């Protein structure tokens, strides 16, 4: 197993990790690790809430619960002077005066109010591009023809991809799956492959994932994902097998407003129980709930290897990075990590409710962490979890 984490919240993980999907209780190890102190807790104790903690989102509408997100306003320059009027404010060329730029956004302590201006994926630069005309289609759309392109659609019922090289773009897709595990707003079937980009993916608080990847390859870029239990899930169809759920590229997406009312209720921004050859780069993942992880990589079904987690912005969850290494055993795991990241305390003073690094199942050659810092304080956390109010987070 090889995992590598780098990034601004930058992570490259070369991972081997695991999970077994059951209808509702597919993540027993998560219960074991995080359950006793979290079960029945609807909010963390005050000592764990950061001074700048942001209120929990209240709805699953696109961008509605961004911590303080704003939409840039427009500025109209003043009119030119008329004959006989004062020419103050008119430049030498006779046109209106230049508009003075406002102060730059605070991209450390106030990054969540300025995601897009600070260069991160957010509610206004992901999902369906503004002004796109959509054609509505009701009911589940099943794609069986290789090379199909779906562009500018509003699909109520989700998409089942059962063909190769399918492209889904500039579309709004919603699905209500009644909480079923293994469901996706977009479901990439075994043997299929798909690119999903610049689309709004709404699980209506009843669907397991925005993208369920069980195919040979999957690319997700520029999507706005919400209303699901796990943002994107890579699933190995055959335990001990390889190929299904591998070869993924997840870049520039905004994953937020998760729900506990689908699958097993354990929230993760990205999760796999065994997948290889993947990139998770420059995404914004905001988990309000004090459980599980922004990224959770296990190897319970098959080996997880060659996964790069780089330049992401993460906040909240139980631990930011949840890695469970069972191979060859939990007592004697194998694998390698190279980690460089920035982590935000917008939700909790420990970044995640418990901290950043989930400690169990460490590889024998350690994490190899370099340059990991808390975004708001620039404190290096290579050697340990952060501290909060003078105590080590764990």
DSSP 176-213: --TT-TT-EEEEE-TT-EEEEES-EEEEEEEEEEEEEE
Which residue bears the tokens 């840039």?
Answer: 72
> How would residue 80 be classed by pLDDT, with cut points 50, 70 and 90?
very low
Q: Is-contact 252 285, C-beta < 8 A?
A: no
> How would residue 205 be classed by pLDDT, with cut points 50, 70 and 90?
very high
Percent pLDDT > 70 in the chain is 68
Q: What are the C-alpha distances in Å from 119 to residues 106, 277, 284, 309, 316?
A: 12, 26, 10, 18, 20
Q: Is-contact 274 245, C-beta < 8 A?
A: yes
Report the pLDDT averaged over residues 365-378: 76
At 20, list the tokens. Answer: 């077994």
Q: What is the pLDDT of residue 103?
A: 83
Q: Higher model confidence: residue 141 or residue 242?
A: 141
Q: Higher model confidence: residue 178 or residue 357?
A: 178
Q: 31 CB contacts (<8 Å, ≥6 apart)?
A: 25, 266
Kindly tell me if the per-residue pLDDT of 292 is higher than 60.
yes
Q: What is the pLDDT of residue 98?
A: 65
| Distance of alpha carbon 172 from alpha carbon 224, whole angstroms | 10
Q: What are the C-alpha distances in Å from 255 to residues 62, 151, 250, 318?
A: 10, 21, 11, 16
Report the pLDDT averaged over residues 32-56: 33
In 282-363, the DSSP E strands lie at: 284-287, 293-298, 305-310, 313-316, 319-324, 336-340, 342-343, 355-357
Report the pLDDT averaged over residues 50-66: 38
Q: What is the pLDDT of residues 143-168, one digit of tens each?
A: 999 999 999 999 999 999 999 999 99
Q: What is the pLDDT of residues 297-353, one digit of tens each?
A: 887 888 777 788 888 999 999 999 887 766 555 544 444 445 667 789 999 999 999
Kindly tell me if the per-residue pLDDT of 90 is higher than 60.
no
Q: What is the pLDDT of residue 113?
A: 95
Query: CB count, 10 Å around CB of 257?
Result: 27
Sign of CA dihedral 23, 25, 29, 33: positive
Kindly tell me if the per-residue pLDDT of 85 is higher than 80.
no
Kindly tell me if the per-residue pLDDT of 78 is higher than 80.
no
| Distance of alpha carbon 280 from alpha carbon 296, whole angstroms | 12
Work out the mean pLDDT of the chain and round it to a whole number. 77
Q: What is the pLDDT of residue 276?
A: 85
CA angle at residue 174 from 171 to 176, to 5 degrees? 165
User: DSSP assignment, residue 132?
Assistant: -
Q: What is the pLDDT of residue 36?
A: 29
The residue length of the chain stands at 394
Q: What is the pLDDT of residue 373?
A: 81
Give residue limits of the domains in the chain. Answer: 2-40+110-392
Alpha helices of 28-151 — where are they, by DSSP H?
Answer: 28-38
pTM, full prediction: 0.76
């Amino acid at each position: 197993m090889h995992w590598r984490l780098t990034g601004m919240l930058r992570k490259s993980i070369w991972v081997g990790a695991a999970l077994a999907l059951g209808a509702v209780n597919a993540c027993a190890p998560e219960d074991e690790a995080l359950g006793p102190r979290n079960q029945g807790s609807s909010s963390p104790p005050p000592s764990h809430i950061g001074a700048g903690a942001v209120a929990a989102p209240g709805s699953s509408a696109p961008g509605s619960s961004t911590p303080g997100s704003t939409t840039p306003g427009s500025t109209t320059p003043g009119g030119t002077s008329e004959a006989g009027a004062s020419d103050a404010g008119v430049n030498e060329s006779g046109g209106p005066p230049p508009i003075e730029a406002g102060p730059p956004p605070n991209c450390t302590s106030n990054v969540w109010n300025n995601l897009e201006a600070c260069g991160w994926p957010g509610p206004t630069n992901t999902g369906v591009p503004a002004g796109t005309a959509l054609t509505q289609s009701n009911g589940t759309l099943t794609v069986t023809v290789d090379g199909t392109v779906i562009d500018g659609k509003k699909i109520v019922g989700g998409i089942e991809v059962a063909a190769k090289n399918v492209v889904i773009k500039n579309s709004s897709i919603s699905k209500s799956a009644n909480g079923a595990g293994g469901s996706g707003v977009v479901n990439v079937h075994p043997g299929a492959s798909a690119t999903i980009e610049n689309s709004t993916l709404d699980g209506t608080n009843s669907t397991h994932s925005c993208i369920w990847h069980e195919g040979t390859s999957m690319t997700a870029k520029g999507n706005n994902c919400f209303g699901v239990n796990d943002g994107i899930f890579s699933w190995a169809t055959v335990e001990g097998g390889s190929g299904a759920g591998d070869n993924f590229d997840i870049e520039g997406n905004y994953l937020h407003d998760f729900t506990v009312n689908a699958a097993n209720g354990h929230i993760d921004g990205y999760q796999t129980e065994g997948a290889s050859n993947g990139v998770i780069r420059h995404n914004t993942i905001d988990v309000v709930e004090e459980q599980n992880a922004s990224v959770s990589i296990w190897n319970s079904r098959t080996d997880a290897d060659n996964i790069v987690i780089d330049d992401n912005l993460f906040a909240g969850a139980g631990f930011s990075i949840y890695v469970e290494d069972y191979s060859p055993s939990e007592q004697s795991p194998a694998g390698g990590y190279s980690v460089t990241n920035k982590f935000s305390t917008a939700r909790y003073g420990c970044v995640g409710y418990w901290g950043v690094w989930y400690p169990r199942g460490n590889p024998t050659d350690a994490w190899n962490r370099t340059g990991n810092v808390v975004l708001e304080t620039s404190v290096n956390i290579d050697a340990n979890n952060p501290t909060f109010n003078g105590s080590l987070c764990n």
